[in-house]
């Protein structure tokens, strides 16, 4: 048996059956990869706000010419 199987399985089992009081962090603010790594949700919205700012600044630069 590969060691990563147990490591990932134990993470998911703990997260499924642990009480919210036992969690060190708010689980609602994270998503999990297929390898049971935590990714904060703010990463998914950070790229959108950056691209929106770039779009607005690019269009305002066009208006100057």
Tens of pLDDT, residue by residue over 4-48, are 788 888 888 888 898 888 888 888 888 888 777 888 988 877 666
Residue among 14, 31, 30 at smallest CA distance from 22: 14
Q: Is the pTM of this model over 0.85?
A: no
Question: What is d(CA 21, CA 8) in angstroms, rounded to the nearest whole number?
Answer: 22
pLDDT attached to residue 52: 55
pLDDT attached to residue 49: 55
Q: Which residue has the higher pLDDT, 34 or 54?
A: 34
Measuring CA to CA, how many Å separate 63 from each of 41, 50, 59? 35, 20, 7
Measuring CA to CA, how many Å separate 33 from each of 9, 13, 46, 55? 13, 15, 18, 30
Q: Is the pLDDT of residue 61 over 70?
A: no
Domain count of the fold of the chain = 1
Residue 26's domain spans which residues?
3-63
Q: Is the pLDDT of residue 2 over 60?
A: yes
């Amino acid at each position: 048996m590969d060691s990563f199987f147990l490591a990932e399985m134990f993470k998911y089992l703990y997260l499924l059956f642990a009480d919210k009081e036992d969690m060190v962090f708010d689980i609602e603010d994270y998503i999990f990869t297929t390898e049971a790594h935590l990714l904060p949700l703010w990463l998914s919205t950070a790229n959108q706000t950056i691209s929106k700012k770039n779009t607005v600044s690019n269009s305002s630069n066009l208006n100057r010419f």
